[in-house]
Amino acid sequence: MIRTALRHHAPGDLEEAAALLAAHGERAAVVGGGTVLVPSLTRGERDLDHVVDLRRLGLDELSGTDQELRIGASVSYADVLSAPPFPGAAQLLQVAAGGITGGPQIRNQGTVCGSASYANPSSDMPGVLVALGAQMHLHGPEGGRTLPAGEFFVDAFRVAARRGELLVAVSVPTRPDRIGYYKFKLAEGSWPIATASAVLPDPDGSLTGATVTLGAVSAVPLRLDLAPLLDGNGDLAVPAAEVDGWVAAQVPEPWDDELAPGDYRRTVAGVVLRRALQRAEENR
Amino acid sequence: MTEALPTTTAPESAIPTRELSLTVNGRPCRVVCQDRQLLVEVLREQLRLKGTHIGCLNGDCGACTVELDGKAIKSCLVLAPAAEGSEIITLEGVGPDGGGLDPLQQAFWDNDGFQCGFCVPGQIFAARQLLARTLEPSDAEIREAVAGNICRCTGYQTIIESVRAAAQAIGEGTEGLVPEVDTPA
Amino acid sequence: MTLTPEAPATAAGSPVGRSVRRKDGDLILTGHGAYLDDIEFPGSVLHAALLRSPHPAARILRMDTSAAQARPGVRVVLTGAEAAAATQPIPHFYNPAMVGGRSTDFHPLAVDTVHYAGEPVAAVVAESLHEAQAALRDIVVDYETLPFVLDAEQALAPEAPRVFEGWEDNAVARLPFMEGDATAALAGAPHTLTGEISIQRYQTTPMETRGYVAAWSPDGRLTMHASTQNPHPLRSHLAQVFGIGEHQVRVVATRLGGGFGHKFHSYPEEALVALLARRAGAPVKWLESREESLLVGAREYLHRFEVGFDAEGTILALQDRILANVGALGSSGGWAQAFVAGLTVPGPYKITHYDVEVAVVATHKAPWNGARGFGKESATLMMERVVDLVAQRLRMDPAEVRRRNLIPADAMPYWTAMKHIDSGEYHAVLEEVLEAADYEGQRAEQTTARAHGRLLGIGIGFELAPEGADLAGSLVRGHDTATVRIDRTGGATVLTGVTSPGSGNETGIAQMVAAELGIGVDDVRVVQGDTDLCPYGYGNFSSRSLTVGGAAAVLAARDVRATLAQAGAHLLKTRVEDCSFADGHLIDTASGQRLPLPEVVNAVMTLGGVGLGIDESQLESTRTYSPENVHLVPDEAGRVSVYPSYAYSAHVATVEVDRETGKVTVLSYTGVHDCGTVINPMFVRGQFLGAIAMGIGGALWEESVYGADGRLRSDSLKRYLVPRAPDLPWIETRSRETPSPFALLGVKGGGESGVSGAIGAIANAVNDALLPLGVHVHEMPLSAPRVLRALTDQRIRP
C-alpha cells in the first residue's frame, strides 16, 4: 500500500529519463524489475513522488563483442539464464543468476542492473560485477559515463551515481579466465551471507594472478589478490586454516544483520573463498 | 520523543491516475488506476479477481503470482502502470474456457497439493512455468521451481507429488487425470 | 501411499477411512476460495490502519490527532483513552488468574502506557487504506520512554523494570507439575546429569494474515466477519466488551488461509475494529500486515533440568525448571502454552518421580498467541535431549534408552499427575520408525562417514501430543455441538461448532456423516463458522475438530437415521434392525428391498405422526459430544487430566553438519504416527507432513529476533526464514491406528502431531553429529552461526 502521491513515468528516451531524475532528485527513483523498490515503497521505507520506469527505453540488449558482453538495464536474471552460455569469465554472471533467492518469479522480474543499483551488501551481483571488473555505464543529464564496478559500489546501499544518473548497462569481459562461484546462505529464503567469485586468468591452470571477490561479508565487495598466499608455482602455499585467517584479516568491518552477525561472516569468508577456488578448479 | 515520519499531504483527488489497457484472462479491458497502485491491487480491487492473494506485499511469499506476458511474476512487485499493454493470466484464467480445471489444477486437487489454499496461485504458476520447459522434472527441479512460494500447510511434499502427477498426465496426453484418489459419489 | 478408487458408499464401502479429496478444492484452485479480504460487502467499506508504538516501554504524554482528523478521506481517529472509555476490558482467552497467576486488564489500544514495541496506540478509519495509512503519519505522540526488559531471567531480577504497574515482580505465574518425590529419587539415583536447553521465540506465519470486517446494523446488531479460529467465543467476548446481548452479535469466520493458533481470538484488534465501525457509522475493515503479523510470538523457553538414572538407562527422576518469556501477556491466551509445556513432561516416558516448575514471565516483547505445538514442543525438546544425554553418558544407543523408558502398552491407560493417557503402542511405533528409517543401516553408514571426518548425525524424536483440551471455567472447552438435517432430495446439512483452519475437517465431518446416512460425501454440506447458523462451539484448537465436532455430528446423524429407519421399517414392513443405509437408499437387509432415501424423507415429512410408526416428523437433530477421559475433579491421588486424547509419533532424522560453516542439512526423515482411527488417510498424512515441516523450520531457521532497542528485527519473511521447498528432505511417513477406547469412533487429535517430534529429532541429530567433537548445542534454533559457535567454542563442552 503506497501512501505517497506517486507518479509513474515511462520516458521514451534516456534524456527524458535523466531530466526527470535530475528534476526530482531525492523524490524520484528508477524502477526496473521492481523487486526491491516497489516493496520498499509499500512498506513505507522509502517515500517518493516519482518513479522512472525503464521499460520504454529499449535497455533489454544482451549483446557481445569478442571482448565483452553488454547487459542492458532491463535484462532480467531469467534473460541471462535463457541466453546461450556466456563466454569466458562472463559465465560467472550466469552461474550467479541461477542461484538468486526468491525463486523463478524473482528471476523473471529482478535485473542485474537493478541489483547493482540497490547495492545491498547481502546480494550476489555486486560481488560478481566487481570480480569481473565490470564496467558500469551510467547516463545522466550531462550524457553518459562509465565507471569500473570497484568504484561504483561506494558503501552499503550507496553507489557512485550522481543526481539524475541511471545505470543503463553493465559490460563484463569475456576473457577466457576460469571462474568459480560459491554462495553461502542459511536457507533457501535467506539472502547470501557470504559469496566468493574466483577469477583465475592463468591459462596454465595455476593461481597466478587469481583474485577472489568476497560479497556480502562487508559493506562493499572485497576483491582479494591471492598473491600473498601463493608459492613460486602459483599454487596455494598455506593450509586452509591459514587461508581463513588471512582472509578474516582482510575483513576488518564485516557486514552485520539479523541473519548473521559480523563475526560469523568474517569466520566463513575464508571458507567461501576456498570453495570458490575449488569450483574454479573443477571448471578446468 | 516524537517519531519523525515523512509526511505527505496530497489528497486522494491529487493522486496521479491513468487508464490502463490490459488483456486479462484473454479479455481486453481498460481500467482506471492510481499510479501508485500495485498490479495485485488493480487485479483484486478494480477487476475483482480475488484469486490473486496478498500474503506479504514484499515479494517473499508468492501468493500474488500471476502470469504476465507468459512469465510467472509476483504482482505485488509491479506498479500497475508498468503493466500497460500486457497480457495477464490470473488463477481464475488457468482452467479451460468452459470452466473446470486444467490437468495441473486437477492434479493439485487429487494429490492434496494444498490445504488452506492461500498459496495456490504461486504454486500453480510456478509449476506451469516448469512444465512448459519439461514434462519429466526431477523432485529437485520441482522444489527449485516452487522455491519462490511459501506454503505453511503441506511441507511441500504433496505439492511435489501434484506436479509429478500433472507432468505425467500432460505427458500421456490424457485430457483430465485419472484420479488416484476417491471421487466422492 | 496406495489409494483405492472410490467405491459406492455401501456398508463395506463407507467413506470413513478413505482418501476423499477436500471439499471446495475446485473453488480454491480457480481463485474462488473467498477468504476474508476476497469477500465483497454491500455498500462502501471503510479501512482502518493502526499506529503502533516504536518503543517497548513508554508513557504516552500527549497525543495530537488534529492533523490526522483534518486529512481528506479520514472519518475516525481514535485514541486509547477514547477506546477504553467506550468498552469493557477485553476478556482473556484464558485468564492466568484461573491458575493462581497475576492478571491485568487489556484494552483495544494502549491507554497511557506502552508495554511492547508494536502495541497499537491509535487508530484511523478512512475511505481508502491509502488515506488511513497516510493519516497515521500525522498523529503526533509524545512518549516518555521507560526502561524495559526483554529477557525472562533479567525480568525476574528484583530491580527489573515492571511490565505492568503494581505487579510485585514480572512473574505471571509459577506453575508446579509433580509426582512422587523427585528430590529424594535424584539423591538416590546411581547417575545424575544436569543441563540447560533453550528454544527460541517463534511464530507460525499463516499465509493469510488476520483480518476483521465489522458492521453495525440500524437495529444495534454487530456483524463481524473474521479470520478467526473461534467464532463463538469471539461473539461472547464482543458482547461483553460492548455490554450488549450475545444474540445481538453475529460472527462469521471466513475461510481461513491457515490458522496454527495465530488466529485464536482475544486480540485487541477484534474489539477495536468493531468500535471503529460503530464510531464511523459504517462497515470497517482491518487487515493485519505481514509486519504486524510477525509481531505475534510464542515458544520462548529455557529449561534447566536434572535427571537421575541407573546403569541400565532407566530414568528414575527428573527435575525441570522452565522459564517462559511470554512477552507483555495480552488478552490472547498464548501464555497458556507455558502451562502445557509443564503439563506435557515427562511425555511418553514412565518416570514416576518428577518435579517441574514453570515460571511464566512477562517482558516487554509483544504478547504470544498460539503456535501449533502449543508448548508440547518445548517439553518434547527437553525430554528428547534428556534421553539422548542419558544414552550418551551410558554409551548406550538412544533407541535402547527409549525402549527402557517408554510407557508399555499394557500399562495403558496410564496416569501421570496431569494426564490420563488413553492408549498407545509406543514401543511398536518406535520399532516401526527404526525399521522404516533403516536405523541400524544408517548407524553403520554413520560410522563410515565419521571415519571420513563427516559430521553425520542421526536423531530420534518421540512425541506425545495431548489433544482436545477441556479447560473448565473458561471458554476453552472440550465439548462441541452439531446439527444434522436431511432434506427431501436425500442430501444432508451439518451445522457444526468446530471450524477449519484450512485443514479439511469439513470434508472429514462430511465423510463421517455420509457414512452414517449411507449417502455420498458430496451430498453432505458442512456449514461452519457462522454464529447465526451454527450451534455454539469452540472452533478450532487443540486438534479436536473430528474427535468432538465429528463425533457430535455422528451422534446427530444417528438420531436422524433412527427416525428414517423407523419410518422405513414401517414402509417396507420389516424390522428396524434390518434397515441399513447405503447408496442413498434405505435397504431391508432381510429382503433386499430398497427405498430411495428421498422417498423415506418425504414420507416422514408428509406422513409422520399419522401412520409411519413415528410420533414426530423431526428430521434434524442437535447433539453435543463431550470428550470422555477428561478428569477435572481431582481423584484421591489429586490427579486431574484436561486432555482426553493422546496422539503420539516417532521420528528419525539424519543430518549433516558443515564443519566449516555450521550449516545443517537434513538428509533424510522418517516419521510414524498414531492418531487413533483415521477418517481420511490423505488428510492425516498431509497434517503430519506439514507439522514436520514446521518443526524442522522451527528447529533450524525460524526465529523472532529482537534488537537491543526492544524492536522486532525479524519483521519480514526475508528476515524470518520459514522453510521453502528446497530446504526440506523427502519425508517418509507411516501411520498406525490404535483407536482411543474413550472416543466415539476411536479418533484422536491429528492436527498438531509432528511439530514436537521433529524439533526433538533434529536437535538430537545435530547434537549426534557433533558428538565426536565433544560439543553440543542447546540453544535453538540450530542456525549455522549458532552451530559454528559451538564447534569453535570449547567452553561449552558438556
Report helix, strand or coil for C466: strand
pLDDT, one tens digit per residue, over C383-422 is 999 999 999 999 999 999 999 999 999 999 999 989 999 9
Residue from the list C73, C502, C523 with its beta carbon closest to the beta carbon of B153: C502
For the residues C585-606, what does the mean pLDDT come to? 96
pLDDT, one tens digit per residue, over A43-52 is 999 999 999 9
Q: H/E element holding B24?
A: strand B17-24
pLDDT value, residue C716:
96
Distance CA A195, CA A123 (A): 8
Question: Is B56's Cβ below 8 Å from some Cβ in C?
Answer: yes
pLDDT, one tens digit per residue, over C58-111 is 999 999 999 999 999 999 999 999 999 999 999 999 999 999 999 999 999 999
Q: H/E element holding C686?
A: helix C681-700
For cell 566463513, the residue is A268
For the residues B80-96, what does the mean pLDDT come to? 97
Contact B36 C260 (CB under 8 A): no
Number of residue pairs across B and C with CB atoms under 8 Å? Answer: 245
What CATH number is given to the structural domain containing A45? 3.30.43
Host domain of residue A191: 185-282
In sign, the C-alpha dihedral spanning C420, C423, C428, C431 is: negative
pLDDT value, residue C616:
86
Question: Is C719's Cβ below 8 Å from some Cβ in A?
Answer: yes
pLDDT value, residue C426:
98
All three cell numbers of C637 = 491421588
For cell 498464548, the residue is C334
Q: Which residues does C576 contact at the CB level (< 8 Å), separation at least 6?
A: C565, C566, C569
Distance CA B168, CA A10 (A): 44
pLDDT, one tens digit per residue, over C154-166 is 999 999 999 999 9
Contact A188 C705 (CB under 8 A): no
Distance CA B4, CA C746 (A): 60
Residue C609 — pLDDT band, cuts 50, 70, 90? confident
Contact A42 B147 (CB under 8 A): no
pLDDT, one tens digit per residue, over A88-120 is 999 999 999 998 888 999 999 999 999 999 999
For the residues C157-185, what does the mean pLDDT come to? 97
Residue A121 — pLDDT band, cuts 50, 70, 90? very high
| Co-location of A133 and A233 in the same domain | no
3-state SS record for A15-84: HHHHHHHHHHHHHEEEECCCCCHHHHHHCCCCCCCEEEECCCCCCCCEEECCCEEEEECCCEHHHHHHCC
Q: H/E element holding C358?
A: strand C353-361
Question: Residue C643: is its pLDDT beyond 80?
Answer: yes
In sign, the C-alpha dihedral spanning A228, A198, A130, A39 is: negative
Question: Residue B54: is its pLDDT beyond 50?
Answer: yes
pLDDT value, residue C797:
46
Distance CA C241, CA C239 (A): 6
Residue B174 — pLDDT band, cuts 50, 70, 90? low
| Co-location of A144 and A46 in the same domain | no
Mean pLDDT, all residues of chain C: 95
For the residues C732-748, what does the mean pLDDT come to? 94
The torsion defined by the Cα of C178, C184, C190 and C196, in degrees rounded to 10, comes to: 50
pLDDT value, residue B10:
54
Question: Is A246's Cβ below 8 Å from some Cβ in C?
Answer: no
pLDDT, one tens digit per residue, over A168-192 is 999 999 999 999 999 999 999 999 9
Q: Residues A141, A161: contact at Cβ < 8 Å?
A: no
Residue from the list C6, C28, C730 with its beta carbon closest to the beta carbon of B183: C6
Contact A189 B6 (CB under 8 A): no
Question: Residue B178: is its pLDDT beyond 80?
Answer: no
Contact C257 B179 (CB under 8 A): no
C contact test, residue of A186, A255, A256 with most C CBs within 10 A: A186
All three cell numbers of C196 = 540447560
Task: Examine the predicted complex and report whether its ipTM is higher than 0.85.
Answer: yes
Residue B24 bridge partners (DSSP): B27, B88
Number of H helices, E strands in chain B: 5, 5
For the residues C549-557, what does the mean pLDDT come to? 97
All three cell numbers of C15 = 467413506
Question: Is A284's Cβ below 8 Å from some Cβ in B?
Answer: no
Question: Residue C9: is its pLDDT beyond 90?
Answer: no
Distance CA C267, CA C432 (A): 43
pLDDT, one tens digit per residue, over C459-490 is 999 999 999 999 988 888 999 999 999 999 99
The closest of C262, C236, C260 to C249, measured between CA atoms, is: C236
Contact B36 A39 (CB under 8 A): no
Question: Residue A82: is its pLDDT beyond 70?
Answer: yes
Which CATH number does the domain B103-172 belong to among 1.10.150.120, 3.90.25.10, 3.50.50.60, 1.25.40.10?
A: 1.10.150.120
| Co-location of A45 and A83 in the same domain | no
Distance from CA of A276 to the nearest CA of C (A): 14
Distance CA C232, CA C741 (A): 30
Chain A's closest residue to B36, CA to CA, is A6
Contact B37 A2 (CB under 8 A): yes
Q: Give the distance between the most distant pair of CA atoms in chain B.
A: 68
pLDDT value, residue A258:
87
All three cell numbers of A118 = 540497490
Distances from the Cα of B162 to the Cαs of B103, B106, C32, C441, in angstroms?
10, 9, 20, 31
A224 part of a folded domain: yes
Residue A22: Cβ within 10 Å count: 16
Question: Residue C256: is its pLDDT beyond 50?
Answer: yes
Question: Residue C238: is its pLDDT beyond 80?
Answer: yes
Q: Residues B130, B141: contact at Cβ < 8 Å?
A: yes
A266 part of a folded domain: yes
Report helix, strand or coil for B140: helix
All three cell numbers of C559 = 438420531
Choose one of A139, A173, A207: the last residue of a domain: A173
Contact B56 C141 (CB under 8 A): no
Question: Residue C8: is its pLDDT beyond 50?
Answer: no
Question: Residue C7: is its pLDDT beyond 80?
Answer: no
Q: Residues A101, B62: contact at Cβ < 8 Å?
A: no
Residues of chain B with Cβ-Cβ distance to A51 below 8 Å are: 79
Question: Is B126's Cβ below 8 Å from some Cβ in A?
Answer: yes
| Co-location of A23 and A84 in the same domain | no
In sign, the C-alpha dihedral spanning C397, C399, C400, C405 is: positive
Question: Which segments of chain A are extended strands (E)?
Answer: 7-9, 28-31, 50-53, 62-64, 68-72, 135-140, 143-148, 153-155, 158-159, 166-173, 178-184, 194-200, 211-215, 222-225
Residue C790: Cβ within 10 Å count: 23
pLDDT value, residue A35:
96
Distance from CA of C58 to the nearest CA of A (A): 24
Report helix, strand or coil for C133: helix
Residues of chain C with Cβ-Cβ distance to B2 below 8 Å are: 140-143
C contact test, residue of B112, B159, B160, B164 with most C CBs within 10 A: B112
| Co-location of A207 and A268 in the same domain | yes
Q: Residues C518, C582: contact at Cβ < 8 Å?
A: yes
Contact A53 B81 (CB under 8 A): yes
pLDDT value, residue C10:
40
Choose one of A132, A152, A173: the last residue of a domain: A173
| Co-location of A71 and A46 in the same domain | no
Would you call B32 exposed, middle or buried from its count of C-beta atoms within 10 A (0-12, 13-18, 19+)? exposed
| Co-location of A130 and A212 in the same domain | no
All three cell numbers of C788 = 559454528
| Co-location of A149 and A93 in the same domain | yes
A166 part of a folded domain: yes
| Co-location of A66 and A162 in the same domain | yes
The closest of C339, C380, C388 to C359, measured between CA atoms, is: C339
A178 part of a folded domain: no
Q: Residues C650, C594: contact at Cβ < 8 Å?
A: no
Task: Enumerate residues 100 to 129 of chain B having a beta carbon within 8 A of any beta carbon in chain C.
Answer: 100-101, 105, 108-110, 112, 114-121, 124
Question: Is B177's Cβ below 8 Å from some Cβ in A?
Answer: no
Question: Residue C581: is its pLDDT beyond 80?
Answer: yes
Residues of chain B with Cβ-Cβ distance to A42 below 8 Å are: 38, 57-58, 76
Share of chain C above pLDDT 70, in %: 98
pLDDT value, residue B2:
37
Question: Residue B3: is its pLDDT beyond 80?
Answer: no
Q: Write b or e for each residue in B42-81: b if 16 or more Cβ atoms lie within 10 A of its Cβ, otherwise e.
A: bbbbbbebbbbbbbbbbbbbbbbbbbbeebbbbbbbbbbb
pLDDT value, residue C12:
53
DSSP code string of B36-93? T-BHHHIIIIIS--TTS--S-SSSSS-TTEEEETTEEEEGGGSBGGGGTT-EEE-GGG
What CATH number is given to the structural domain containing A74? 3.30.465.10
Q: Where are the domains of chain B?
A: 16-93, 103-172
Distance CA B55, CA C206 (A): 9
DSSP code string of C617-659? ---EEEEEE--SS-B-S--TT---B---EEEEEEEEEEEEE-T
A163 part of a folded domain: yes
Chain A's closest residue to C722, CA to CA, is A189
- In order of their start, the domains of chain C are 25-33+479-625 (3.30.365.10), 37-146+206-293 (3.90.1170.50), 374-469+638-796 (3.30.365.10)
pLDDT value, residue B16:
96
Touching chains, C (3+ CB pairs < 8 A): A, B
Q: Write b or e for each residue in A78-112: b if 16 or more Cβ atoms lie within 10 A of its Cβ, otherwise e.
A: bbbbebeebebbbbbbbbbbebbbbbbbbbbbbbb
For cell 458492521, the residue is C215
Residue C610 — pLDDT band, cuts 50, 70, 90? confident
Residue from the list C129, C724, C785 with its beta carbon closest to the beta carbon of A189: C724
Chain A's closest residue to B54, CA to CA, is A1
Mean pLDDT, all residues of chain A: 95
pLDDT value, residue B12:
62
Report helix, strand or coil for C524: strand
For the residues C595-605, what does the mean pLDDT come to? 96
Contact A193 C784 (CB under 8 A): yes
Residue from the list A42, A53, A109 with its beta carbon closest to the beta carbon of B73: A109
A180 part of a folded domain: no
| Co-location of A74 and A34 in the same domain | no
pLDDT value, residue C794:
54
All three cell numbers of B36 = 501508485
DSSP code string of C280-316? HTS-EEEE--HHHHTT-B---EEEEEEEEE-TT--EE
Tell me how many domains chain A contains. 3
Residue range B16-93, CATH number: 3.10.20.30
Distance CA A154, CA C392 (A): 52
| Co-location of A45 and A92 in the same domain | no
| Co-location of A104 and A159 in the same domain | yes
Touching chains, B (3+ CB pairs < 8 A): A, C
All three cell numbers of A24 = 526530482
